[in-house]
Amino acid sequence: MKKIVLLIVFFLGVLEAQERLKKPLLERMIEPRVSVESSYLSDADVDGGGGIEVFKNRVRINNKIAGISYTNWKFNWSDIAALPFGDGKMKPIEEMHSFKLNLNLPYFINEKWFLLAQTSFNATYEKETNDAFGAGIFSFLSYKFNEDHTYQFGAFANYHPIKTLALPVISYSYRSQQRDGLQVVLGFPRTFIGYHLDEKTLLRFGAIFSQSVIKLSNQSVLEPRGYVEAKDYMSNIGISYELDDSLQLESDILYSLKREFNLYNSAGEKGNNYSIKPSLGVNVRVAYRF
């Protein structure tokens, strides 16, 4: 279940930024945005033998209140016969799909305290969508110590009938809404460090943890009618540039620190665990705000 990302950076400093915005806050929050994103991870060895490279494409339509997205992953496998899973002949998985709906509820308690609650509903699957649905909950309280320093704490949970994961959200942010100089968000599940070269150009470094459960096809050579729980630790270094108030371009170099997955049969019983070694990649994103 990808990318809790971008929500924290926006909401942490929106209160103090409101007076400087040309448009009313409510109008900005309901403005629709369309983004298209493509990424690639180079061929990486699978522990036990074989390898995999990954292509990902995502389309998203959202504002600050709600959003919907579709993501497609395609996989190229190398040395299939040496893989520690599958039948040694067919590709374990050729592609996966995910549809996701997000609903966000921001609430300003007072000048110091801010609450964000987010729910999401998703279907992540190889071919058939039956038993592929899950949900997520993400909530945190933010305390603004002063104009530069903010603290956040809360939790997120990814629910699926096969496996539910719940983890804390703990972070500290520094100048997270400023458009000049340094920005910092340190914590879990996300860390972000950015530096504005000017008002339009941002250099950034980040790391994020994500987890999801994928429904395998009825004829899967991994586990017929089974599931895969995938966990990913990803870092990036890149640049974003705002051509104008509506159009933003982003480009990143990716480094997959750690990828691992667990197999489950159709009854939800856990099977073997596998890991994939680190690899490099690239990501490009175009976002247009109406």
Domain regions of the chain by residue span: 7-289
Mean pLDDT of the chain: 89
Structure tokens of 140? 């945190």
Q: Which of 12-26, 39-53, 100-114, 159-173 has the lowest mean pLDDT?
A: 12-26
In angstroms, the CA 249 to CA 224 distance is 41
Predicted model pTM? 0.85
- Confidence tier at 198 by pLDDT (50, 70, 90): very high
The predicted pLDDT at position 25 comes to 61
What string of DSSP letters covers 78-134?
A: ESGGG-SSS-SSS-S-SEEEEEEEEEEEEEE-SSSEEEEEEEEEEEEESS--TT-EE
Least confident of 5-9, 114-118, 248-252: 5-9
Residues in the chain: 290
Q: Are 52 and 44 in contact (CB under 8 A)?
A: yes
Residue whose entry in the numeric block shows the structure tokens 């990649």: 281
Do 265 and 289 contact (CB within 8 A), yes or no?
no
The lowest-confidence range among 10-14, 99-103, 124-128, 165-169 is: 10-14
Least confident range from 13-17, 28-32, 235-239, 259-263: namely 13-17
pLDDT score at 179: 85
Residue 68's SS3 state is strand
Instruction: Tell me the CATH number of domain 7-289, given options 3.30.379, 2.40.30, 2.40.128, 3.30.70.
Output: 2.40.128
Neighbour count for residue 17 (Cβ, 10 Å): 16
Is residue 180 packed enough to be buried (19+ CB in 10 Å), middle (13-18) or exposed (0-12)? exposed
